[in-house]
Structure formats: C-alpha cells, structure tokens
Structure 1
Amino acid sequence: MAEDRGMRAEVAASWHRSAAAGVSAELREAPITVDQGDLRDLRSAHPLARVFPLLDDVLGQAVRDCDAMMAISDADGTLLWICGTPKTLRAAERIGFVEGSNWDERLAGTNAPGLTIATGRPTTITRAEHFRQSVQPWSCAATPIHDPGTTRLLGVLDVTGGDQIVVPQTMAMVRAAARLAEVELGRESLLGPQPERPGGLRVLLEGLGRPEALFTMDDGRGRVETVRLSRRHSEILLLLAAAPRGLSGDELAVLLYEDDGASSTLRAELNRLRGLLGEEVLASRPYRLAADVTGDWLAVEAQLAAGDVREAMRTYQGPLLPRSTAPGVVRIRGALEASLRQALLRSGQADLMSAWTRSAWGRDDYEMWVAQRDAVDPASPMVALVDGQIARLDADLA
C-alpha cells in the first residue's frame, strides 16, 4: 500500500513537532489534564454543550453501530465528550482516550484531533501514522468546529475506530455534522441580541501563503460571496485594509508601484475593482473599504500582540502575497514575518520552532535551527536531526 512506502508531508511535520515537544513514541496513555469534577463545569460552560445533543443524534448513533467512537474536544485538545459502545470505550481507555484527557499533539503525539488543532484543517490519521505505538491499532478522522460569528476555533469533532472508518464517507459525514453544528450555533446567535455593525458589510481578506488573495463579503442580510482576486487587486485591497482611514490616489500609487507615473493605470485598476466588488465596498476620496474588514495577517498581528505565539503560528499559512513586489506589501510582509520569527525565537517552544524550520520559508533559517537545538531536550532523538540541518547550512555558508 502507498502508506507502506512513505509518509504524508503533514504527518511527517506533526511527528517532528511531537518529538520536538518531548512526546515519547512509547508513551502508552494520553495525559489526563482535567479531573471529573472540573470536567463537568468545563462542559457545561462550553459553547459546544448547546450542540452536543444534535451531534450525538446525527453522528453518535452511527458510530456506535460500527463499533467506533465520536469525540468532541475543546480548542486546547481536552476531550469533553466521548460516545461509543461500552466495549469500544473500554478498549480506548487503554490508550488514555477518555473524557478529560488531552490529545494536543504536544502531549499525545500525532493524532487527528491534535493535528486538526495544529493546522486548523480536517485531518485523517490511519494506524501507523500515529506517533505513539499504542495508538497505531486505531484510525481517526477529525474536523474543526468554529464559532460562526467570530470564526474562532471552538473545538474538534472526531470519529475514532478501526479500519472500518478509513473510507472517504467517514470524513464527509464528520464534516457535514460539524457544519450542521455551526449552522445551529449561528441560528441561536441570530435569535439573541446582536450588536450593530456599521454599514452592515463585513469583509474577510485571506492572503497568507497565497499568490492571490481570497475576498469574502457578508452583506449582513444573508448573502455571502467569495472571490479569488487578481494579484494587483489583492495588493490594492490589502493596502486599503491596512489603512482604515483611507489613502489618496498618490499615496496608494507609491505603495503599489515600484516606479512613478502609474496614476492612470491605478485609476483603471480601481474602476475594475469597483465594478467587481460594488460601489458600496470600495469608497473614494480617499480610497477606503467601506466595511468591517478582517484579514488573516491582521489576526496574526493581533495574536502576537496578545502574546499567543501558538495561535499566531496556527494562523500563519506562509508569507503574505509572496509573489508581490508592491513596496507597501513587501513592507507589511517583512514586518509580519520578522515579528513572528522574533516571537518564536523568544518562545523557547521547540515544537513551534520545528514547524517554522520545516516550512519552505524557514528551512534555511540558521538562527532558528540553533534556537531549536537549544530548546530540545538533549536526550531527544530530534537532536541528531537538528544538528544535521545545522551542519548542512554550515556547509552551504562555507
């Protein structure tokens, strides 16, 4: 089989992070981080408590019928609820897959809920892809559940079982159940009191790791539209999003073009962009976005300001519009990367440094490799790998 001949890149990256965090492949059980008394309080206060009965109804019974389990964790990896037959639950106890245990990959090694928390994406982990040997008889499929209003990660929905769940239909079913939960949470939110949003328009720009940005607009009346922008339009919107008070045509031109004399080109681009997005989104005099704007790079900046380096790394999908040479974009991109990099160097967290050095933009970062070596336990098998990469860079620099 294909899995016998190699390892998927995202799984390999997770193994590196698990090893860098000090997880032993021989660890039998995941740690219990919340006792039963505190667990009851944690569950009752958690937003997903409102949709747990729905998830148990649409997914819980289905997994019981095939001797699997449904589990729901919070955003930190603590398992809040686990549903399954008594026989399956007893078997899962032997690997510490119990309510109150924590399956963040830093504590439990590579697994689907932990990898979903680390990457923010749906994940399937099969048998030998698990970092810990005790978990390798199992397979699991997990997907994130987000707050529909803020897009904040609330938790992870997971199905764990044997080979019977390693089919595409399992992930489709898990993702459908998670989306249903998000819809229900959104419906409850709409029934409650809502703060006024200026203008009613909300705009999300996603440009991290993308040559062109994704533009998503919510008109506040139930219409949501996503558009993949051209590179130039991506640059314009990013620069306007970074200047909430707006920019004059001359200011925007300086930030956008490497040479002078492009005012007529800029006006044409702005007219095309206004035709694409609508008059209500792109205002003029000065040019600005007449909406409540959020961006993935702005989220990283906010997370760093709050000191949450781990969440910033989770959000950071790569350099901002990496192919752009617009002076204003180059400056924002460089400042963001420098801020995140310095926060990582100061964090002392080897698994986060490992995520950086395994990326396309960080694999030749000598200072980060050295910091990672200092952060890794001297007895860890990761030391040899890190030393090898430092030797490679020494040879290249020589």
Structure 2
Amino acid sequence: MEVTRLTATDAARAARVLGEVRASTLDGRPSKPAPRPAIRESWGRMLQSGIDPDHDFRADLLGRDEVERRRQTSRLRHVLPVLREGLLSLADTAQHIMMVADADARVLWREGSTAVLRKADGHGLGIGADWREETVGTNGVGTPLVSRRAVQVFSAEHFVRALHPWTCTGAPITDPRDGRLLGAVDISGPLETLHPSTLALVDSVAKLAQARLRDLHLTSLEQLRAVAAPVLARLGGRAVAVDRDGWTAAVTGMPYTSRVALPKSLSPGRCWLPALGLCTVEPLPAGWLIRPTAEPAPAPTATHITLDVSHPRRWTVTVAGCAGSWTHELTPRHAELLYLLALHRAGRSASALADDMFGDPARTVTVRAEMSRVRRYLGAFLDHRPYRFTERADVEVLLPETPLDLLPHSVAPGVIRTRGSTPSAPTWAERPPGHERERSNP
C-alpha cells in the first residue's frame, strides 16, 4: 500500500486502514493491504522479541553528564549545522521536531516546533531517551538503525499503540570511512502533518551529512600529512603516519594501505600490530608514527577469534593470541563475509561466497575485492583457495538471542537462510506470558 499517497488526501482514513492491518498482523491473520516491507520486517522482529504492542514502555532518560559525554565523543556533532540547515525549516513549518540520536538510539539533540516539543515530552521523546526498536517498537529512530535505510513510520505502523498519533521519518547516518553506524536523524510530528516528500528529504540530508564527514576526514589527513612528510623524509626504512583511528596519511618504504588496524588503547613504545608485526610507535599531532622493526613475529600458536554479531547494529572481530589481543569494528559487508566463513569452516570458493552474498555466483570480482580488504586486518588468520579461517584459528561466534536479529540489515541469501533455519516467530496472541528467550549458539 502507498501510505504517503493515501495520507496526502485523507490522513484519518489512512490511520484507520493501518490500524486494521496492524490488528490482523498481531492476530496472525493475513491482511489486505499488506504492511509495507520495511514495516513488515520490523513487526516480525517485534513479535519475535516479545514487545508488548499495547504497553507504553520507556527506559529511564540518560543523565545530563552522560548526554554531554556522548555528544562530545560523537562524530555527529560535526554535522549538526548540515542537519539543521536541511531540516529545521521543515520542522518549524510543518509542526515537526528534529531529533538526532547516536548508534544506541539515544536522543542527543532535539529541536523544532515548541508546541510539538511539549507534546513529545509527554511521549518520552526527551533528550537522552532510548528509542531502540527493542525498547519502544517500530519507530523512526530505532528502525532505520536496524534496517540501515531511511524509513517512514505513519500512525499505526508504530508497533506500540501509544505512538499512533505520530508520524516519524528517519534515516541512518554512517561513517563514510568504514560504514560504521554513527546514529540517525529523525523528523517527527502529529500524524496529520505527514508529507510525501519528507522521506526523500530526510534521506538526502543524511547523505549530505555523510559527505560532510568525508570532507572533514580528508582535510584532517591532509593536515597530518603536512606534519608527517618532513619526518618521513628524514627516516630510513619503513614507516607510516596514521591518524588516531589508523587511517593512513603518509607512508615510506612500504606498500600503501588505507588503514592500519590499531588496538583500542595505543601508547608510545613497542607493540605488535596484526598487519605489520612488531612496531615502534611514536606520537604525532592527532596521530601516530609507526615503524615496523626487523625482529621476527612471535611463533604461530593457536589464536582465539571471536566474531560478535549478537547486536543488531554493531559487529566486531576480536583476535587474542600470544602477542596480545585487539578488536576491530566491522562494516556490514565484512560482518556478513566473516559470518559466512565462520559458518563454513571447510571454506568457500569465490563463486560460492558470491552466491551466498548476492545470489549470483558470477560476482567473484566483488567478493575478491572485499576479501582483499578483510585481509588487511585479518590476513594472518585467513587462507584462500578456498577462503577460510586458518586451522590454527579457534573461531567463536556470538549470535543474537533471536534468529531474526542476526545481521538484520542483510539481504545476503546465505544470511537469510540462516535466519530461517528455526521455526518462525509466533504471533502475539500465541506468545505465552513471561516468554523468555534463549541464547543462540553457533
């Protein structure tokens, strides 16, 4: 059903129709019209997780100090001017509010119509509010963070009844450097204020924010390169200058790589890095000078690799061995690839992985390019022909409690098959009181 077309002429009728669709879905009956795909997927996650559709549950707001700490450490603070310029005029004109939330769906900034802000306070839309799907159901902040695409949620498309007077339109904002989820921007207001163009506008402004972050990143690397270039010119041997996140600004005496995987806490001195071996690390303004040593790497031993895909929005790989441990945050594509390799320990050919990822075994060029990027930080623990984890790697996979929460953004056939390997979720009416979820094991 084209919700925006119906609401453009009769918002009240659209709300009634969607209410009937929701009621049928909760009762386990097919509905006509059917929910839109993004809403259907979200409702499926809600039914699986046990969210009560008629209970307005809210978590406590974050304290002022914690909100300020998150604001100061979020890269979203750099793009607030872009978001304000693109969306606040709409918010004021259409009686909406703009909310910016971090990757945990915590509202960090909120601006817009004074009257709507007061109304929002009564629905828990305050600064520091928790708007994860698993907390308040389908909504314009939490759902885009899970699906990783712009979503409009109108009236009864909200899973929890208390939000039916609202229309919410949100889009995720990702880090253009590595695809990591930074948060979401949302425009919300009374249901009668929905406009068909709002979804496209919010999505476009989110992309403008990502472009601004890309420009800031390139500028910072240029500044670091200007500082590091004279230092590298005086050095003999191999060296690389990186920013605090490991992105390469300049290199000498060794092949260029766009990023060096760094441990979460790095300090001057000697340390072992997965891509370079034993290194000497020295501080630079806003970065590090890294010089690989000539000493041999530690002898190969059994290495424990933990692939954590238990969260709907963040995924990591942690390597622990004799040389210490380090953790790398994964992009959505790399999380899919490593999960599939962990699932098939005997290995997968490039064509098999292409079939798992895209449903097209001919897309081997894309698979090889992505695996080449994965090998930059995990190459010591991966073999190829076929692609697989090495035999000396002990691989542990941390899965979500609910199968539907496994990489929920993914449309890779190999991931979808895994999600569907367990019985489908019961409807709300079939779910027993006090339903408890069991932790999945690989």
Indicate the TM-score class for this superposition, using the shorter chain for normalisation: 0.5 to 0.7
Does residue 22 of structure 1 match 2:50? yes
Contact preservation (8 Å) 1:14, 1:115: yes
Does residue 113 of structure 1 match 2:130? no
| Cα shift at 1:29 | 4.7
User: Per the alignment, in what secondary structure is the counterpart of residue 28 of structure 1?
Assistant: coil
Closer, same or farther: CA 148–295 of 1 in aligned 2, 3 Å? closer
Which one-letter code corresponds to 2:334 in the other structure? Answer: L
Partner Cα separation in structure 2 for residue 299 and residue 69 of structure 1: 34
The match for 1:178 among 191, 206, 210 is: 206
Closer, same or farther: CA 190–355 of 1 in aligned 2, 3 Å? closer
Partner Cα separation in structure 2 for residue 302 and residue 175 of structure 1: 29
Contact preservation (8 Å) 2:170, 2:184: yes
The match for 1:349 among 391, 402, 405 is: 402
The match for 1:6 among 34, 51, 72 is: 34
The match for 1:68 among 73, 78, 96 is: 96
Does residue 149 of structure 1 match 2:177? yes
- Gaps in structure 2 of 5+ consecutive residues: 4-16, 18-32, 223-247, 259-329, 343-352, 368-383, 390-395, 438-442
Equivalent in the alignment of 1:323? 360
Partner Cα separation in structure 2 for residue 367 and residue 55 of structure 1: 38
Equivalent in the alignment of 2:422? 369
Partner Cα separation in structure 1 for residue 115 and residue 197 of structure 2: 24
Does residue 43 of structure 1 match 2:71? yes
Equivalent residues in 2 for 1:90-109, closer than 5 Å: 90-109=118-137
Equivalent in the alignment of 2:165? 137
Contact preservation (8 Å) 2:354, 2:362: no
Partner Cα separation in structure 2 for residue 13 and residue 188 of structure 1: 35
Equivalent residues in 2 for 1:144-223, closer than 5 Å: 144-163=172-191, 165-193=193-221, 195-196=248-249
Equivalent in the alignment of 1:379? 433
RMSD, aligned CA: 4.5
Contact preservation (8 Å) 2:146, 2:408: no
TM-score, normalised by the number of residues in structure 1: 0.57
- Gaps in structure 1 of 5+ consecutive residues: 203-293, 307-315, 337-341, 384-398
Which one-letter code corresponds to 2:361 in the other structure? Answer: S
Closer, same or farther: CA 305–334 of 1 in aligned 2, 3 Å? closer
Partner Cα separation in structure 1 for residue 407 and residue 40 of structure 2: 11
Contact preservation (8 Å) 2:147, 2:408: no
Specify which structure has the higher proportion of strand: 2
The match for 2:150 among 122, 137, 160 is: 122
TM-score, normalised by the number of residues in structure 2: 0.52
Closer, same or farther: CA 327–37 of 1 in aligned 2, 3 Å? closer
| Cα shift at 1:361 | 6.3
| Cα shift at 1:151 | 2.2
Which one-letter code corresponds to 2:42 in the other structure? Answer: S
Contact preservation (8 Å) 1:19, 1:380: no
Equivalent in the alignment of 1:207? none
| Cα shift at 1:197 | 7.0
User: Per the alignment, in what secondary structure is the counterpart of residue 197 of structure 2?
Assistant: helix
User: Per the alignment, in what secondary structure is the counterpart of residue 124 of structure 1?
Assistant: strand
Contact preservation (8 Å) 2:96, 2:189: yes
Contact preservation (8 Å) 1:304, 1:343: no
| Cα shift at 1:96 | 1.1
Equivalent in the alignment of 1:298? 334
Contact preservation (8 Å) 2:54, 2:160: yes
The alignment covers a number of residue pairs equal to 276
Partner Cα separation in structure 1 for residue 434 and residue 417 of structure 2: 22
Which one-letter code corresponds to 1:321 in the other structure? Answer: F
Partner Cα separation in structure 1 for residue 125 and residue 37 of structure 2: 25
Sequence identity (%): 23
- Listed one character per residue, the Cα deviations across residues 260-300 of structure 1 (whole Å, up to 9, x for unaligned) are xxxxxxxxxxxxxxxxxxxxxxxxxxxxxxxxxx9864343
Partner Cα separation in structure 1 for residue 415 and residue 357 of structure 2: 14
Contact preservation (8 Å) 2:97, 2:110: yes
By relative contact order (CA 8 Å, sep 6+), the higher-ranking structure is 1
| Cα shift at 1:66 | 1.6
Which one-letter code corresponds to 2:95 in the other structure? Answer: D
Partner Cα separation in structure 2 for residue 107 and residue 365 of structure 1: 25
- Listed one character per residue, the Cα deviations across residues 215-261 of structure 1 (whole Å, up to 9, x for unaligned) are xxxxxxxxxxxxxxxxxxxxxxxxxxxxxxxxxxxxxxxxxxxxxxx
Partner Cα separation in structure 2 for residue 15 and residue 2 of structure 1: 18
- Listed one character per residue, the Cα deviations across residues 98-155 of structure 1 (whole Å, up to 9, x for unaligned) are 1111111111101122111111111111111000001011111111112222222111
User: Per the alignment, in what secondary structure is the counterpart of residue 221 of structure 2?
Assistant: coil
Does residue 79 of structure 1 match 2:132? no
Which one-letter code corresponds to 1:171 in the other structure? Answer: L
Contact preservation (8 Å) 1:112, 1:125: yes
User: Per the alignment, in what secondary structure is the counterpart of residue 320 of structure 1?
Assistant: helix
- Listed one character per residue, the Cα deviations across residues 310-338 of structure 1 (whole Å, up to 9, x for unaligned) are xxxxxx99931323289998x999979xx
| Cα shift at 1:196 | 3.6
- Listed one character per residue, the Cα deviations across residues 71-115 of structure 1 (whole Å, up to 9, x for unaligned) are 111111111111122221111122211111111111110112211
Closer, same or farther: CA 144–327 of 1 in aligned 2, 3 Å? closer
Closer, same or farther: CA 64–32 of 1 in aligned 2, 3 Å? farther
